[in-house]
Amino acid sequence: METFLGIDLGTQQLKAVLTDENLNIVCIEVINYDNELPEFNTVGGVHRAGETVTAPVLMWIKALDNVLYRLKLNGIEFSSIKAISGAAQQHGSVFWKHGAEQILKALNFRETLFNQLQNSFATNDCPIWMDASTTSECKILEDSCGGPMQLATRTGSVGCERFTGPQIFKKYRKERHIYDSTEHVSLISSFLCSVFCGCYASVDFGDASGTNLFNIATFKWDDHCVNVCGKDLRSKLADCVPSTTSIGFIADYFVKRYGFSPACNVIVFTGDNPSSLAVLCQSSDCLGVPVTLCFSGYISLFQSLMDINGDGTRTNIRALCGCKTWYEFELLVAETPPGNDGFIGIYFDELETSCAIKPGYYRFNVDGKLLQSFAPNVEARAILEHQCLSKRVSLENVCLTDEMKHIQVTGGASENSALVQILSDVFNLPVYKIKTAHSAALGGCARAIMSESKNFNFNFHSGNYAELVALPRPFAVEIYNTMICRYKELIKLFTVDQP
């Protein structure tokens, strides 16, 4: 039986999932950093020092040693693994020391990775996605481009503290000895891929989009942003490649130590969010569509629904409505009909990069009069309708709505039944929620399988990997098709002029 291996280097755990060619799970192994590697003294897999949040790279290396050893103890036939791919927590960076690639290429199969890579890193403390210590670097980068919107036009996002570019820039400005000692900078996903390849691996488009360095128009590193963030930084970065790219065969180290086939293919690793979405692709889907949404629409898809003007804004409005729980909030939403009796709200806590809206809360009655406040039940529905209408506008602007067959939701937003129903009605599409707890690693298996077969079929609708959580209601679809025309006119009132 041919098998496929997916690895997920998460914040708190390292997961390995082995499947057959139909994505049926053969084996799962999980290493919890805090519990099983206590010598690294992490809490939740990280070290905190105020706004600085890092994780020890050698902990990840040791976890990889351990998870492969467990697979071996379980009697896994590594020679049956035809291809491998994987994922990692997004935005984090790994700083390889000068000479590290030569160490990777000359690993002794009789020794662990942990023992051999001790001195391969310019710093053992890797900035991760939870870090918020680079506000000044973000401001400098934005100003160098002419402002936040200009940076967003280039890279898909305003300056984000956790993003890889500002984190590298911080090393260049404030820890120059680390930067100067660095031969190569990997994202965490490409770091893990590099270990399996035995050389520095390319960065996939999906993960590159979370760096503030990747130009979403050219699909290459943006020369200006790269030059701002560090002298000769381009020479320290690998090329960016499509998310289906084969990096090459697995390193000889793994062939000799574990018995992998020398023909085992390594597919470029990606971020955990796009990898999770790969599970839900069918042979009739274009894999480029969800991947494109992940990089070209990083802000407009993931971040606005789940981050800056997404979950945080919903939580603020929930408190404003006097609700302590999401259950209470959903009961409020249920008190009002689709379309909210003509009331429309526009809610932005931060500058919205996808449509350049001035931050603020704007409320309108059915006659278009600007109001100071809504009744709690009107407010509750208004925030959800706004966020879904905003997503439709963003996707219509890049001509993607006609290509969409279904919507896939993940994360905390997927648990909000009122939100997913409105999303379904606004887009007139079914909505599915990713079901498996190991979706990022399983996505690695899925992409490995896709690389070997163009006729894959994971039976997406079987319920094994996703759960149907909402279907569009015709009466509501009609209401929102009318409502969106009015919504588009209202948001024009608060659009920030761009030079």
Q: Indicate whether 296 belongs to any domain.
A: no
Whole-number average pLDDT of the chain: 88
Provide the 3-class DSSP secondary structure of residue 244. Answer: coil
Q: Between vectors from CA 167 to CA 162 and to CA 170, what angle results, nearest 5°? A: 135
Q: Between vectors from CA 309 to CA 305 and to CA 315, what angle results, nearest 5°? A: 85
Based on the domain organization, do 388 and 425 belong to the same domain?
A: yes
pLDDT at 439 > cutoff 70: yes
9 - beta bridge partners?
14, 88
What's the CA gap between 102 and 108, in Å, rounded? 12
pLDDT at 351 > cutoff 80: no
H or E stretch covering 376: helix 376-397
Listed in sequence order, the residues at least 6 apart from 49 whose beta carbon sits closer than 8 Å to its beta carbon are: none
Contact 438, 28 (CB under 8 A): yes
Q: Indicate whether 377 belongs to any domain.
A: yes
pLDDT at 435 > cutoff 80: no
Based on the domain organization, do 318 and 413 belong to the same domain?
A: yes
Mean pLDDT of the 335-345 span: 98
Q: Indicate whether 40 belongs to any domain.
A: yes
Based on the domain organization, do 222 and 328 belong to the same domain?
A: no
Based on the domain organization, do 149 and 221 belong to the same domain?
A: yes
Contact 7, 443 (CB under 8 A): no
pLDDT at 57 > cutoff 90: yes
Which range of residues forms the domain containing residue 388? 301-435+465-494
Whole-number pLDDT of residue 300: 29
Based on the domain organization, do 243 and 341 belong to the same domain?
A: no
pLDDT at 294 > cutoff 60: no
pLDDT at 463 > cutoff 60: no
**Angle between the N-to-C axes of helices 376-397 and 417-427, in degrees from 0 to 180, rounded to the nearest 10:** 40
Domain boundary among 227, 246, 279: 279
Give tens-digit pLDDT for 116-160. 999 999 999 999 999 989 999 999 999 999 998 899 889 988 898
Whole-number pLDDT of residue 176: 98
- CATH label of the domain that carries residue 139: 3.30.420.40
pLDDT at 289 > cutoff 50: no
Q: Indicate whether 293 belongs to any domain.
A: no
Question: What number of other Cβ atoms are within 10 A of residue 106's Cβ?
Answer: 11
Residue 358: closest CA among 343, 346, 344: 346
Whole-number pLDDT of residue 273: 82
Amino acid making up residue 407: I
Question: How far are the Cα atoms of 22, 157, 271, 360, 363 from residue 497, in angstroms, in the given order?
Answer: 51, 17, 33, 16, 21
Q: Indicate whether 59 belongs to any domain.
A: yes
Mean pLDDT of the 413-424 span: 87
Based on the domain organization, do 52 and 114 belong to the same domain?
A: yes
Mean pLDDT of the 377-405 span: 84
- Residue 489 burial class via C-beta count within 10 angstroms: exposed 0-12, middle 13-18, buried 19 and up: exposed
Q: Indicate whether 331 belongs to any domain.
A: yes
Please tell me the total count of domains within the chain. 2
Whole-number pLDDT of residue 292: 27
pLDDT at 53 > cutoff 90: yes
Q: Indicate whether 452 belongs to any domain.
A: no
215 - beta bridge partners?
220
Amino acid making up residue 51: E
Q: Indicate whether 288 belongs to any domain.
A: no
DSSP 8-state secondary structure symbol assigned to residue 122: S
Based on the domain organization, do 347 and 274 belong to the same domain?
A: no
Percent of the chain, pLDDT > 90? Answer: 72
DSSP 8-state secondary structure symbol assigned to residue 350: S
Based on the domain organization, do 274 and 343 belong to the same domain?
A: no
What's the CA gap between 63 and 67, in Å, rounded? 6
What's the CA gap between 307 and 290, in Å, rounded? 19
pTM of the model: 0.77
Based on the domain organization, do 234 and 377 belong to the same domain?
A: no
Based on the domain organization, do 88 and 132 belong to the same domain?
A: yes
Based on the domain organization, do 417 and 350 belong to the same domain?
A: yes
Provide the 3-class DSSP secondary structure of residue 319. Answer: helix
Whole-number pLDDT of residue 299: 32
pLDDT at 473 > cutoff 80: yes
DSSP characters for 34-62?
HHH-GGG--BTTBEEETTEEEEEHHHHHH
Based on the domain organization, do 38 and 181 belong to the same domain?
A: yes
